[in-house]
């Protein structure tokens, strides 16, 4: 484990917001998969006394985190493809309302996993690229004919001012150095280009209501942004913040029941039985509790 300073303002002054619960870890290796149900299991989570950024401290060393993601495999993510397709179709819509259709413009998805969003963007006329550390996920994406670079964004070393849009869907909270990532995105974006980031909102009413039982407090999450702290980080990285909006996601009802079961075993077990009995496992449902949001910012021309 390593101690780190605030990634937004550099201060080392912080207060403990949520004590470590790693003693509750289940008898298996740390799980950093996208489909992990390790809710409520996390290292100490602190809040910067200077700027308010919430983050894990101490945390696993960067090299260990990176290697964990390189080795990660997540077959369940592929099985939940239908919900991902509906979610990413919904995510792309406001981008095109703001920026217009793809028309061959170049888009990069950072942490693209198996490339579902790339497929959606490509079908809408974008020249879609992805970068992803998981060797397994890259193989799956490439098998579908997608342009995916294996490794981290910095390792990819894309040309300067090359992309029109860069997206990060549920990625920034996993990064060891989100400020450094945003500065690299600023470098590879064309003047007038846009960055679009989807993440959790630690200051949302739902998160405040649940407190330590908020499900997104998980071992794999290193940062917990609010709309305010993400805006400040984007601005310090050189972007002009445009707006942020709450945005949910689609889940198959059967998959949703497994998520509920991880939080509330008795209720989840009952829900799972009802869903199976009604044969509704594959029914997609849209969930928006207001604790996920998408931020839009541009690189000044």
Strand positions, DSSP E, 215-290: 223-224, 240-246, 249-252, 284-287
Within the chain, what is the greatest distance between any pair of CA atoms?
57
Domains, the chain, ranges and CATH?
72-213+226-298 (3.40.50.150)
Alpha-carbon distances, residue 281 vs 83, 105, 117, 262, 267 (angstroms): 12, 38, 23, 17, 16
Show pLDDT as tens, one digit a residue, over the chain (301 residues). Answer: 899 999 999 999 999 999 999 886 554 445 788 878 788 889 999 999 999 999 999 998 999 999 999 999 988 888 888 889 999 999 999 999 999 999 999 999 999 999 999 999 999 999 999 999 999 999 999 999 999 999 999 999 999 999 999 999 999 999 999 999 999 999 999 999 999 999 999 999 999 999 999 999 999 999 999 999 999 999 999 999 999 999 999 988 887 888 787 777 888 788 888 888 888 888 889 999 999 999 999 999 9
Q: How far apart are CA 243 and CA 254, in angstroms?
A: 34
Q: How many CB atoms lie within 10 A of CB 218?
A: 20
Alpha-carbon distances, residue 237 vs 156, 277, 295 (angstroms): 20, 51, 14
DSSP character string of 14-76: EEEEE---GGG--SS-----TT---TT--S-EEEETTT--EEESSB--HHHHHHHHHH---HH
Backbone angles phi, psi at 94, to 5 degrees: -65, -25
Quote the pLDDT of residue 25. 57
**pTM summary value:** 0.93
Q: How far apart are CA 250 and CA 175, in angstroms?
A: 24
């Amino acid at each position: 484990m390593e101690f780190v300073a605030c990634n937004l303002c550099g201060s080392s002054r912080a207060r403990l917001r949520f004590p470590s619960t790693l003693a509750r870890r289940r008898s298996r290796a740390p799980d950093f998969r996208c489909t992990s149900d390790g809710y409520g299991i996390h290292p100490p989570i602190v809040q910067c006394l200077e700027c308010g950024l919430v983050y894990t401290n101490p945390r696993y060393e960067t090299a260990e985190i990176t290697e964990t993601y390189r080795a990660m495999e997540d077959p369940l993510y592929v099985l939940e493809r239908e919900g991902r397709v509906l979610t990413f179709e919904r995510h792309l819509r406001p981008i095109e309302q703001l920026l217009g259709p793809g028309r061959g413009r170049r888009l990069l998805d950072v942490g693209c996993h198996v490339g579902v969003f790339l497929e959606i963007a490509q079908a809408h006329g974008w020249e879609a690229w992805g970068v992803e550390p998981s060797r397994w996920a890259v193989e799956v994406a490439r098998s579908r004919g997608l342009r995916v670079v294996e490794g981290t964004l910095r390792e990819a070393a894309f040309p300067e001012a090359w992309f029109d849009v860069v997206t990060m869907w549920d990625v920034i909270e996993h990064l060891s150095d989100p400020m450094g990532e945003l500065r690299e995105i600023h470098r590879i974006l064309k003047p007038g280009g846009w960055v679009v980031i989807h993440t959790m909102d630690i200051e949302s009413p739902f998160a405040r209501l649940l407190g330590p039982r908020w499900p997104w407090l998980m071992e794999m999450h290193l940062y917990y942004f609010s709309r305010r702290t993400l805006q400040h980080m984007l601005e310090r990285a050189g972007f002009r913040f445009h707006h942020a909006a709450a945005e949910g996601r689609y889940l198959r009802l059967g998959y949703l029941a497994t998520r509920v079961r991880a939080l509330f075993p008795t209720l989840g077990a009952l829900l799972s039985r009802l869903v199976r009995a009604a044969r509704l496992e594959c029914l997609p449902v849209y969930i928006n509790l207001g604790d996920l949001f998408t931020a839009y910012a541009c690189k000044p021309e």
